[in-house]
C-alpha cells in the first residue's frame, strides 16, 4: 500500500505527538534504507515522519567531554564537520563506506544504526568508540550503549513510539585513536562481508591501556568482543597480543554463508581486518605523538 | 482498491526557477522530475540507489533522486542535468565528456555530469583516485570509466584555469 | 582493394553529433516518451520456477476501476515450428513467445504469466496482484549436471536434440565438429594438458531497463517506441508473437541505454501492443530492475573441458574441446559457437570441438557480446598458457608460433583472408607493459580473443538539402557512437564538413530493412551502405555538372567537395541549391547484405595483485590491443575496447548469477550483481592496430565484441602468477581465492 502521509515535525514534542496516535509510521532520516525497503516491499509504512526539520536531530555538537551527533545528521555533514573526523578517524572511515557519495549525502549514523543490518558499517565503529544512544519516548528519556541497542538482525531496541535522538561519544582520551576496516569484493558499493571497528589507547611507553574491539557482518548483530580487548591490554601491541585479539574475534564470530561470502571466509577475514585496524589505530596514535 | 493518498503541494526551485508540483506522499523525486515536471534527463536505472543514473543536486548536495521523497524538497533547490549548462554554454564537465568521447550509450551521462560537477565544486583538484572514488556510485557499463575519468580530470584543469 | 588509401577526415575525433543532447539530458530513451492518455502496463510474474498453470482468472483485475485491459499467454500466437532470424543466429518462435509470456507452463521464476493496463502505475501493480493464478508446482532444477541426471525434472517432454532418441531429456543441443584426426595427433604430442574450466551465468548489465510505449489505431495499425538494438527485429518478432501483420507495425527506436546483445529480442513490446489494442489507449511499460535480471536473457554459464597437445618445439598439434552450456528454460542456441569457433585463433589440422546445451529452470539465455566465445576461450587460453608454461616457452612466443594467419582455415573450413592476429601479438610483445617488470606480489596474464564479426543487411537513405547539408537516415540504433562514424564516412566521400551531415536513426517505415546493431557490424555494414549512397550522390552530382559543362561525364572529377572539369568547378552547395533545376531532388537509397566482413582479433595484457589474506584482487595495469582494420573514429574504437575489457574484468572477478534451490535469483540488483565501479579499475590502455580489411572500401573490421574475450583468461593467469594457485572456476571472488590458498 502506498504511503498515505508525509509529515515534517519541527520539534521533538511535535514528533512525539504525531507518532503517538498509533498509525503505522516510519521515521525518515536519509531514507537510503527506508525508501529501498518500501520499493522492495519489505517496509510498508502508512505514514513517513521526516526528522530532518528537528534541530536536535541534525545537530553535531562538541564540548570538552563528549561529541553528540544528531540521529538524522547526514554522514556528509559529519564527515565535513571541522572536528569529528580528526577526533574519530575510524568512525569517519565507517560513515564514508556506508555507500556511494550519493548515499553519503543523505544517510545518517543514526539511521544506519536503527536499520540494524548485521553488516552496517557505522555500528562497529560506534561500539568501538563507546557510543551511547539517547532515546526519547512518551515516558521520557533513556540511554543505551550502542552494542545493546541492536537486538537482532534489522531489530533495534526502540518501541514503536520511541525515537533515537542522538549518539553521544565520549571524547577520546589522550593517546587514543580508532580505525574501521571492512572487506567488500569491489572497492565500493558493496555491503560489508566482514567489518572491524577498533579503538585503542596507548600510553607514552607504547603500552595499550584501553581497547574496544567490535566486529560486524559476522553475527546476527555487531559484537563487542571483550576478550579481544583483554588480549591487547597491557601489551605493546606486539604480534602475540594481536594474534590473541584475532583469535578472540574469530572465536566470537558466528557468521552465516550467503551470497556475499561463506562463513569460513568471514571468520578468517574478520581476523585479518581486526589485525589491520589495530595497526592503523596504532599508527595514528604514534603519528599524533610525533 | 484503497483510496489513493491525497496529493501534496510542493514548492521548490528547480534549475534556478520556481516550480510547484503535486505529488503523492510516497512518490520519489526522480519520478516527479520525470513525470510531473517533464525533466526526463534524470534517468532511472535501478530505483534502489545502486546505480547513480538518477543523481541530482539538492541544495548543492549530490544525492540519488530515487531515494529522496519529492515532498522533502519543499523550499529547497534542485539541480538536474538540464540545469547544468548555462544557456548555450556547456559546463566544462559536459564539454570534456564530449571531447574525450566519455560516453557511448549515454544513459549514465546525466548522472555523471551532475556527480562530476559536484566533485569539482567540492574538490577542484582531485587526484585520479579521488575522482574514481567520488564517482563510484555512478555505474557505467559501456566505457569502462576510462574516458569518463580523463574527461573529469581535464575539466578540473579547465576550471582551475590551467592549460590541458 | 581498398578504394580509399589516404583519408582526410577518417581517423579524426570530432564530437559526435548526438553528444550535445546526451550531456544536456535532452536525448530520449525508452522510458522518456509519454503519450497523451497513456495507460501503464504491469506484468504479473510467476513465483515458481517450474509449474503448470492450472488456471488464470483476470476477472477481478478487469473489474477494478481504471483497469482497461488484461491479457494472458492465450492472447499470443501458438508458435509452431517457425524460425525467426535474429542478431547472429536464428531463434525458434516457440523459444521467443514464452519469454514474452508463458502459455500454460512456467519454466523459470518471474516468467510473465499475465499483464494488465491501468490508468496509473500503482493501480496497474495492484490490479496485477488481483489476477488469480493457480499453479501445480513442480520440482525445479538449476544445475546443469543435475538437469542431465536420470532423475531430473524434465522441462520439455516434447523436445529431443537432433540425432537423439525420443526420450525425455533436458539436453537441448549437441553439436560437434572435427577436422583431421585429433586422437591420433594426441599420440604424437610430447605434452598434453587436460583440464576443465568454468564460467558462471551472468548478465549484460545494461543500465537502462527495457521500456516501450505502444499505440494502436482503429484500423489495427500499431506504433511502438522502444529501446532496442534493432527495431526491424522488434517489428518482426512482435508480429510473429502477436499475429499482427508485419506491415501494420511501425517501430521507432529510442536512444538506447546499453544492450550488448540483450536488447536484440522482445519482452515487453508484444505485451504493450496487445494491451494497447485491447484498451484502445496507448500503453507504456517499463521493466523493473529486478525483473531485468530475473526475466530477460542472461549469458550462459559453461563448463569447458580443454585437452591440448603440443610437441616440444612449441607446436600445437591437437585439440579436443567440450563445452557444456546452460541454456536456461528455452533454446538460446549457445552451443554452436563453441563448436565452430573454440580453436579460431590457432593453426590446428587435427581438432575436435563439441558444444552441448542443457535446459534448466532459469530464463532463456540470450546474446552477450561475442556470445558463447568468452566462456570457451577462458578454458582454451588458460590451457594454452599452461601448455606454454610446461614447455618453458613465453606465452606470447607460444602464441606467435601457433597463431592463425592469412590462408589458414578455421574449423568450418573457410580460409582466413588478411587478418591482424600476428600483428597484435607483435605489438603486445613489444609493448612497454609487457616489457616492464611485474611488481612484487603481482602477476601478469596474456590472452587473445577472436570474433567472427557479422555482415548482414543494412540500408541508408541520403537526402541532400538545398543549403548543402545532408540528412542520412539509417536503420541502425546507435549504441556506441556509430552516428559519428557514419557521418565521418559520408564526410570523407562527399568532401563536405562533418558538421553538415545529419544522421538519424529512422523508423521502420522510413528506411530500408536493417538488421540489428550487434555482431560488430554497424560501422562495417551500415557504413558500407552510407558510403555507397554517398558515392552515388557524388556520381550523380558529377553527371549533372558534366551536363552543364557539356563535358564527357568520365572526365569530371570530384575532390574537396566539388565537381571539377578543367578550371571549372561546382561545389556541393551549388549543386544542392540548384538541384530542382538540374534534374530534381538528390536522394539516394542503398540496401545491401554485406559480404565484406573480416574477423576480429585482440590480445590483452593484465597485471593483477591479490591480497593473499583477504583474497581481494586489484587490477593494477591493463592493456588491450586489437586489430580494427581501420579506426573510423578512434575514440569509439577505444571505447569498445575499454568497455568490453571491463565487462570481462567484472565477469572474471565478481559477476555471477546466484540461484536458490527453488530457482529464485538471489542477486537481482546492482548491489549484489557486482559490475565494476570506477574505483575498481585503472585506466584501460587501448592500442588500435590497423590491418585494413581488403573487402571494405575503408578497410573497416568490426570491433565491438572481441574485447570481452581475452580478459577472463588474462586475469585468471595474472591471479595464478600472483598467488601460485591455479584457478579454473570463475568468478575469482575473495572467498574462493582464500579457500584455495588455504588448501594449497
Q: Is there a contact between C448 and C710 (Cβ–Cβ < 8 Å)?
A: yes
* Per-residue confidence band for C553, with pLDDT thresholds at 50, 70 and 90: confident
What pLDDT, on the 0 to 100 scale, is given for residue C1? 46
Q: pLDDT at residue B164 above 60?
A: no
Give the per-residue pLDDT at B2.
58
pLDDT score, position A108: 98
Mean pLDDT calculated for residue range C10-32: 96
Between the two ends of chain B, the Cα-to-Cα distance in Å is 60
The C-alpha cell that represents C1 in the structure block: 582493394
A38, B68: Cβ pair inside 8 Å?
A: no
Which of A183, A190, A268 faces C674 most closely, judged by CB atoms? A190
Average pLDDT of chain C is 96
pLDDT computed for residue B77 by the predictor = 98
How far apart CA C609 and CA C439 sit, in angstroms, is 8
Q: How far is C613 from chain A (nearest CA, A)?
A: 7
Tell me the per-residue pLDDT of C371-400, one tens digit each, with 9 for 90 and over. Answer: 999 999 999 999 999 999 999 999 999 999
Map grid coordinates 555538537 to a residue.
A61
The H-assigned helical ranges of A59-129 are 75-79, 84-87, 89-97, 101-104, 109-115, 122-128
* From A185, A191, A262, residue closest to C654, measured CB to CB: A185
Query: Do C734 and A186 lie within an 8 Å CB cutoff?
Result: no
What length does chain B have? 164
For chain B, say whether C90 makes contact (Cβ under 8 Å): no
Is the confidence at residue A12, as pLDDT, over 80?
yes
Whole-angstrom Cα distance, residue C11 to residue C8? 8
Q: Exposed, middle or buried: residue C409 (CB in 10 Å: 0-12, 13-18, 19+)?
A: middle
CB contact under 8 A, A186 and C677: yes
Check B5 against A4: CB less than 8 A apart: yes
How far does B68 lie from chain A, in Å, by closest CA? 7
How many interface pairs between A and C have CB atoms less than 8 angstroms apart?
58
Q: How many CA atoms lie within 13 A of C166 on its CB side?
A: 2
Q: If you count them, how many residues does chain A have?
A: 290
CB contact under 8 A, A187 and C680: yes
Contacts of C123 in chain B (CB under 8 A): 1
Which residues on C lie below 8 Å from A262 (Cβ)? 735, 739
Task: Read off φ and ψ for residue B26, nearest 5 degrees.
Answer: -95, 5
Q: Of residues C582 and C1, which shows the higher confidence score?
A: C582
Average pLDDT over residues C439-452: 97
Q: How many CB atoms lie within 10 A of CB C214?
A: 32
The ipTM assigned to this model is 0.97
Q: What's the mean pLDDT in C643-663?
A: 97
Q: Which of C122, C201, C735, C737 to probe by mutation at the A interface, max A CB count within 10 Å?
A: C735
Closest among C124, C135, C130 to C102, alpha carbons compared: C135
CB–CB of B43/B36 below 8 Å? no
- Percentage of chain B exceeding pLDDT 90: 93
- DSSP string over A213-246: EEEESSSSS-EE-HHHHHHHTTS-S-HHHHHHHH
Question: Are C738 and A268 a contacting pair at CB < 8 A?
Answer: yes
Of C674, C676, C738, the CB nearest to A265: C738
**Cell numbers linked to C543:** 553527371
Nearest-angstrom CA–CA distance, C446 and C428: 9
Q: Of chain B residues 24-53, which have a CB less than 8 A from chain A?
A: 24-26, 28, 47-50, 52
Task: Report the 10 Å Cβ neighbour count for B164.
Answer: 8
First to last CA, chain A: 59
* Beta-carbon count within 10 A of C38 CB: 19
pLDDT at res. B70 = 98
Confidence class for position A182, pLDDT limits 50, 70, 90: very high
Q: Identify any residues that bridge with C456 across adjacent strands, giving them in sequence order.
A: C594
Mutate to test the interface with C, among B52, B84, B142, B155 (most CBs of C within 10 A): B142
How confident is the model over C332-347, as a mean pLDDT? 92
Q: What is the pLDDT of residues A139-168, one digit of tens each?
A: 999 999 999 999 999 999 999 899 999 999
**Residue from C723, C732, C726 nearest C613 by CA:** C723
C88 pLDDT band, cuts 50/70/90, is low
Question: Rg of chain C over CA atoms, in angstroms?
Answer: 27
**Statement: residue B3 has pLDDT above 70:** no
Give CA–CA dist A96/A78, Å, rounded. 10
Instruction: Tell me if A2 and B4 make a contact (CB, 8 A cut-off).
Output: yes
Confirm if C368 and C299 have CB atoms less than 8 A apart: yes
Taking an 8 Å cut-off on Cβ atoms, the answer to whether A102 and B62 are in contact is yes
Q: Among A131-135, C462-466, C478-482, C587-591, whose mean pLDDT is lowest?
A: C478-482
Interval A186-209: pLDDT, tens: 999 999 999 999 999 999 999 999
Which partners does chain C have (≥3 C-beta pairs < 8 Å)? A, B
Nearest to B80 among C25, C34, C681 (CB): C25
pLDDT digits (tens, 9 = 90+) for A78-110: 999 999 999 999 999 999 999 999 999 999 999
Mean pLDDT of A28-50: 95
Distance (Å, rounded) from C-alpha A167 to C-alpha A68? Answer: 6
Does residue B115 sit at the A interface (CB-CB below 8 Å)? Answer: yes
On chain A, the residues whose CB falls within 8 A of the CB of B4 are: 2
Q: How many helices (H) and strands (E) does chain C have?
A: 21, 28
Which helix (H) or strand (E) covers residue A281, if one does? helix A263-289
Nearest alpha carbon to residue A276 among A175, A176, A178, A181: A181
The stretch A21-48 carries a mean pLDDT of: 92
The DSSP letter of residue A171 is P
Closest CA to C390 of C542, C192, C117: C192
CA–CA distance, A235 with A238 (Å, rounded to integer): 7
pLDDT band at C535 (very low <50, low <70, confident <90, very high): very high
Q: Which three cell numbers stand for residue C484?
A: 559519428
With beta carbons less than 8 A apart as the criterion, state whether C651 and C730 touch.
yes
Are C693 and C594 within 8 A, CB to CB? no
Q: Are A185 and C733 inside 8 Å of each other by CB?
A: yes
Length of chain C: 744
What pLDDT was estimated at residue C6?
Answer: 85
Please tell me which of the candidates C258, C640, C678 has its beta carbon nearest to residue B107: C258
- SS3 at position C169: coil
Amino acid at each position: 500500500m502506498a504511503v498515505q502521509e508525509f509529515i515534517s515535525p519541527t520539534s521533538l514534542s511535535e514528533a512525539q505527538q504525531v507518532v503517538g496516535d498509533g498509525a503505522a509510521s516510519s521515521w525518515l532520516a536519509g531514507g537510503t534504507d527506508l525508501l529501498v525497503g518500501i520499493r522492495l516491499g519489505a517496509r510498508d509504512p502508512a505514514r513517513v515522519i521526516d526528522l530532518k526539520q528537528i534541530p536536535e536531530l541534525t545537530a553535531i555538537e562538541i564540548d570538552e567531554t563528549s561529541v553528540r551527533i544528531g540521529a538524522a545528521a547526514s554522514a556528509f555533514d559529519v564527515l565535513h564537520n571541522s572536528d569529528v573526523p580528526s577526533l574519530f578517524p575510524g568512525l569517519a572511515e565507517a560513515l564514508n563506506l556506508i555507500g556511494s557519495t550519493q548515499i553519503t549525502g543523505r544517510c545518517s549514523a543514526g539511521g544506519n544504526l536503527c536499520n540494524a543490518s548485521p553488516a552496517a558499517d557505522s555500528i562497529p565503529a560506534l561500539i568501538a568508540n563507546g557510543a551511547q544512544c539517547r532515546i526519547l519516548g512518551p515516558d521520557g528519556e533513556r540511554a543505551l550503549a550502542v552494542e545493546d541497542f541492536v537486538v537482532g538482525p534489522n531489530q533495534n531496541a526502540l518501541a514503536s513510539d520511541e525515537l533515537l535522538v542522538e549518539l553521544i561519544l565520549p571524547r577520546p582520551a589522550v593517546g587514543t585513536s580508532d580505525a574501521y576496516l571492512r572487506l567488500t569484493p569491489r572497492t565500493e558499493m558493496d555491503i560489508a562481508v566482514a567489518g572491524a571497528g577498533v579503538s585503542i589507547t596507548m600510553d607514552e611507553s607504547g603500552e595499550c591501556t584501553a581497547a574496544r574491539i567490535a566486529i560486524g557482518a559476522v553475527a546476527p548483530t555487531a559484537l563487542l568482543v571483550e576478550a579481544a580487548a583483554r588480549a591487547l591490554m597491557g601489551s605493546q601491541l606486539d604480534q602475540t597480543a594481536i594474534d590473541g585479539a584475532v583469535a578472540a574475534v574469530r572465536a566470537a564470530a558466528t557468521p552465516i554463508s550467503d551470497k556475499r561470502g561463506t562463513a569460513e571466509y568471514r571468520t578468517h577475514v574478520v581476523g585479518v581486518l581486526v589485525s589491520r585496524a589495530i595497526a592503523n589505530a596504532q599508527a595514528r596514535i604514534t603519528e599524533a605523538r610525533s | 482498491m484503497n483510496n489513493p493518498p491525497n496529493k501534496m503541494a510542493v514548492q521548490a526551485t528547480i534549475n534556478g526557477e520556481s516550480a510547484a508540483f503535486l505529488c503523492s506522499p510516497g512518490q520519489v523525486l526522480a519520478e516527479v522530475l520525470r513525470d510531473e515536471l517533464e525533466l526526463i534527463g534524470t534517468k532511472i536505472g535501478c530505483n534502489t540507489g545502486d546505480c547513480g543514473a538518477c543523481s541530482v543536486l539538492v541544495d548543492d548536495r549530490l544525492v540519488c533522486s530515487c531515494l529522496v521523497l519529492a515532498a522533502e524538497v519543499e523550499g529547497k533547490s534542485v539541480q538536474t542535468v538540464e540545469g547544468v549548462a548555462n544557456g548555450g554554454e556547456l559546463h566544462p564537465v559536459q564539454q570534456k565528456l564530449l571531447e574525450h568521447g566519455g560516453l557511448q550509450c549515454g544513459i549514465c551521462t546525466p548522472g555523471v555530469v551532475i556527480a562530476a560537477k559536484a566533485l569539482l565544486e567540492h574538490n577542484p583538484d582531485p587526484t585520479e583516485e579521488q575522482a574514481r572514488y567520488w564517482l563510484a556510485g555512478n555505474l557505467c557499463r559501456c566505457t569502462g570509466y576510462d574516458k569518463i575519468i580523463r574527461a573529469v580530470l581535464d575539466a578540473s584543469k579547465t576550471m582551475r584555469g590551467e592549460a590541458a | 582493394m581498398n578504394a580509399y588509401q589516404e583519408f582526410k577526415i577518417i581517423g579524426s575525433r570530432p564530437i559526435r553529433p548526438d553528444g550535445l543532447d546526451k550531456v544536456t539530458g535532452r536525448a530520449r530513451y525508452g522510458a522518456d516518451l509519454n503519450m497523451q492518455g497513456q495507460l501503464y502496463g504491469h506484468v504479473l510474474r510467476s513465483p515458481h520456477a517450474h509449474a503448470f498453470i492450472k488456471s488464470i482468472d483476470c476477472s477481478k483485475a478487469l473489474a477494478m476501476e481504471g483497469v482497461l485491459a488484461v491479457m494472458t499467454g492465450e492472447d499470443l500466437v501458438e508458435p509452431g515450428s517457425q524460425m525467426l532470424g535474429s542478431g547472429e543466429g536464428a531463434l525458434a518462435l516457440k523459444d521467443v513467445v514464452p519469454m514474452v509470456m508463458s502459455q500454460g507452463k512456467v519454466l523459470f521464476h518471474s516468467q510473465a504469466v499475465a499483464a494488465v493496463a491501468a490508468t496509473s502505475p500503482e493501480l496497474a501493480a495492484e490490479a496485477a496482484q488481483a489476477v488469480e493464478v493457480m499453479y501445480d508446482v513442480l520440482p525445479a532444477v538449476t544445475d546443469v549436471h543435475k538437469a542431465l541426471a536420470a532423475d531430473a525434472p524434465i522441462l520439455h517432454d516434447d523436445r529431443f536434440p537432433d540425432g537423439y532418441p525420443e526420450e525425455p531429456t533436458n539436453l537441448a543441443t549437441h553439436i560437434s565438429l572435427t577436422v583431421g584426426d585429433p586422437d591420433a595427433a594426441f599420440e604424437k604430442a610430447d605434452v598434453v594438458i587436460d583440464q576443465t574450466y568454468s564460467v558462471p551465468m551472468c548478465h549484460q548489465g545494461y543500465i537502462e531497463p527495457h521500456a516501450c510505449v505502444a499505440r494502436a489505431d482503429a484500423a489495427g495499425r500499431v506504433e511502438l517506441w522502444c529501446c532496442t538494438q534493432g527495431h526491424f527485429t522488434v517489428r518482426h518478432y512482435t508480429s510473429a508473437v502477436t499475429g499482427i501483420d508485419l506491415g501494420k507495425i511501425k517501430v521507432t527506436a529510442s536512444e538506447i541505454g546499453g544492450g550488448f546483445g540483450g536488447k536484440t529480442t522482445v519482452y515487453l513490446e508484444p505485451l504493450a501492443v496487445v494491451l494497447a489494442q485491447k484498451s484502445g489507449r496507448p500503453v507504456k511499460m517499463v521493466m523493473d530492475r529486478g525483473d531485468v535480471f530475473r526475466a530477460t536473457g542472461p549469458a550462459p554459464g559453461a563448463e569447458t573441458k580443454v585437452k591440448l597437445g603440443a610437441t616440444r618445439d612449441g607446436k600445437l598439434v591437437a585439440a579436443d574441446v567440450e563445452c557444456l552450456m546452460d541454456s536456461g528454460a528455452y533454446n538460446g542456441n549457445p552451443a554452436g559457437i563453441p563448436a565452430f569457433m573454440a580453436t579460431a585463433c590457432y593453426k590446428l589440422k587435427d581438432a575436435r570441438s563439441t558444444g552441448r546445451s542443457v535446459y534448466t529452470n532459469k530464463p532463456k539465455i540470450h546474446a552477450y557480446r561475442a556470445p558463447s566465445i568468452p566462456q570457451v576461450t577462458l578454458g582454451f587460453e588458460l590451457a594454452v598458457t599452461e601448455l606454454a608454461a610446461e614447455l618453458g616457452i613465453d606465452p606470447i612466443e607460444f602464441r606467435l608460433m601457433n597463431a592463425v594467419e592469412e590462408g589458414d582455415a578455421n574449423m568450418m573450413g573457410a580460409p582466413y583472408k588478411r587478418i591482424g592476429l600476428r600483428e597484435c601479438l607483435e605489438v603486445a610483445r613489444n609493448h612497454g607493459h609487457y616489457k616492464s617488470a611485474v611488481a612484487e606480489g603481482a602477476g601478469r596474464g596474456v590472452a587473445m580473443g577472436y570474433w567472427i564479426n557479422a555482415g548482414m543487411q543494412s540500408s541508408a537513405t541520403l537526402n541532400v538539402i538545398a543549403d548543402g547539408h545532408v540528412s542520412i537516415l539509417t536503420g541502425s540504433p546507435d549504441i556506441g557512437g556509430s552516428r559519428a562514424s557514419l557521418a565521418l564516412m559520408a564526410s570523407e566521400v562527399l568532401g563536405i564538413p562533418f558538421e553538415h551531415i545529419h544522421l538519424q536513426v529512422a523508423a521502420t517505415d522510413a528506411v530500408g530493412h536493417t538488421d540489428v546493431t550487434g555482431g560488430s557490424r554497424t560501422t562495417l555494414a551500415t557504413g558500407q551502405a552510407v558510403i555507397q549512397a554517398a558515392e552515388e550522390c557524388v556520381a550523380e552530382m558529377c553527371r549533372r555538372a558534366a551536363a552543364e559543362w557539356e563535358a564527357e561525364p568520365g572526365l569530371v572529377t570530384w575532390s574537396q567537395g566539388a565537381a571539377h572539369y578543367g578550371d571549372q568547378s561546382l561545389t556541393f552547395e551549388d549543386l544542392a541549391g540548384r538541384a530542382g533545376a538540374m534534374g530534381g531532388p538528390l536522394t539516394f537509397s542503398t540496401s545491401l547484405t554485406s559480404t565484406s566482413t573480416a574477423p576480429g582479433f585482440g590480445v590483452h595484457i593484465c597485471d593483477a595483485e591479490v591480497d593473499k589474506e583477504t583474497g581481494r584482487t586489484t587490477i593494477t595495469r591493463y592493456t588491450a590491443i586489437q586489430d580494427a582494420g581501420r579506426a573510423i573514429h578512434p575514440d569509439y574504437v577505444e571505447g569498445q575496447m575499454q568497455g568490453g575489457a571491463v565487462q570481462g574484468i567484472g565477469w572474471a572477478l565478481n559477476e555471477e548469477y546466484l540461484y536458490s534451490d527453488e530457482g529464485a535469483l538471489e542477486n537481482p540488483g546492482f548491489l549484489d550483481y557486482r559490475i565494476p565501479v570506477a574505483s575498481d579499475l585503472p585506466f584501460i590502455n587501448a592500442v588500435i592496430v590497423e590491418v585494413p580489411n581488403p573487402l571494405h572500401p575503408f578497410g573497416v573490421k568490426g570491433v565491438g565484441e572481441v574485447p570481452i574475450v581475452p580478459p577472463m583468461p588474462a586475469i585468471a593467469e595474472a591471479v595464478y602468477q600472483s598467488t601460485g594457485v591455479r584457478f579454473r572456476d570463475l568468478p575469482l571472488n575473495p572467498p574462493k581465492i582464500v579457500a584455495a590458498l588455504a588448501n594449497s
